[in-house]
């Protein structure tokens, strides 16, 4: 089982990051955190890296439902979406597969919730 799904789009990195944030919002997700991996690697290690941002996306409705089933499920939230430049004008967008993530937890109710979230994230990626 793959742990993510992705799509490469013909769009510059910065534009793609804004586009993905809007696409997530259209599916009910807010971005709780934004990690600029490129800047972090440069600042902490002095290493160069391509433009690469991790968006911590959360749909509060589904997060609430999941927390009602497993109060420690917060250790696996939010759903990460990676936006990374693969070539000038080409950006890959990858989202964690919630079903793969929740497979580590023995709770069928979480699987149902993860399936619904998976559907939303897959649709978001597909429609980019």
Q: What is the pLDDT of residues 13-41, one digit of tens each?
A: 999 999 999 999 999 999 999 999 999 99
Does 1 score more than 70 pLDDT? Answer: no
- Output the CA torsion 128→55→40→99 (10° steps): -100
Query: CA 109 to CA 95: how far, in whole Å?
Result: 22
Alpha helices (H) along 4-107: 13-26, 37-45, 60-69, 98-102
Parallel, antiparallel or unpaired: strands 4-10 and 90-96: antiparallel
How high is the pLDDT of residue 85?
98
Residue 95 in contact with residue 125, Cβ under 8 Å? yes
pLDDT digits (tens, 9 = 90+) for 58-103: 999 999 999 999 999 999 999 999 999 999 999 999 999 999 999 8
Instruction: Work out the mean pLDDT of the chain and round it to a whole number.
Output: 97
Sign of CA dihedral 95, 69, 35, 40: negative
pTM score of the predicted model? 0.95
Residue 77 Ramachandran class (φ > 0 left, ψ -120 to 50 alpha, else beta): beta
């Amino acid at each position: 089982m793959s742990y993510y799904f992705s799509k490469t789009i013909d769009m510059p990195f910065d534009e793609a990051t804004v586009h993905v944030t809007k696409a997530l919002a259209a599916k009910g997700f807010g971005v709780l955190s934004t990690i600029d991996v490129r800047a972090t690697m440069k600042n902490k290690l002095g290493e160069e890296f391509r433009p690469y941002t991790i968006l911590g996306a959360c749909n509060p409705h589904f997060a609430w439902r999941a927390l009602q089933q497993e109060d420690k499920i917060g250790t696996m939230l939010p759903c990460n979406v990676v936006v990374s430049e693969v070539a000038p004008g080409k950006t890959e967008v990858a989202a964690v597969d919630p079903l793969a993530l929740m497979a580590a937890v023995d709770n069928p109710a979480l699987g149902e919730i993860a399936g619904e979230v998976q559907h939303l994230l897959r649709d978001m990626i597909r429609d980019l």
